[in-house]
Amino acid sequence: MAQKADYEELMRQLGAVGSVRRELARILPDGCSNGSATALALLGRDGDLRLGGLAELLGVDMSVTSRLVTHLADRGWIDRSPDPADRRSRILRLTPEGRARLAELSDRTAQELARRLSDWNDEDIRRLTSLLSRLRAGFDGPQRTEHDARAEPPATALSPCTPAVTQ
Binding region for a copy of itself (CB under 8 A): 1-4, 6-21, 23-24, 26, 34, 37-38, 41-42, 45, 58-60, 106-107, 109-110, 113-122, 124-129, 131-136, 138-139, 143, 145-146, 161-162, 166
* Closest separation in Å from C-beta 47 to DNA: 15
Strands (E), 3-145: 78-82, 90-94
Interacting residues toward DNA by CB under 7 A: 18-19, 22, 25, 33-35, 50-53, 60-67, 69-70, 80, 83, 86-90
Strands (E), 30-165: 78-82, 90-94
* Binding partner of 126, given a copy of itself, DNA, none, CB within 5-8 angstroms per partner class: a copy of itself
One-letter identity of residue 112: E
Phi/psi for 68 (5° steps) reads -60, -45
Contact 97, 104 (CB under 8 A): no
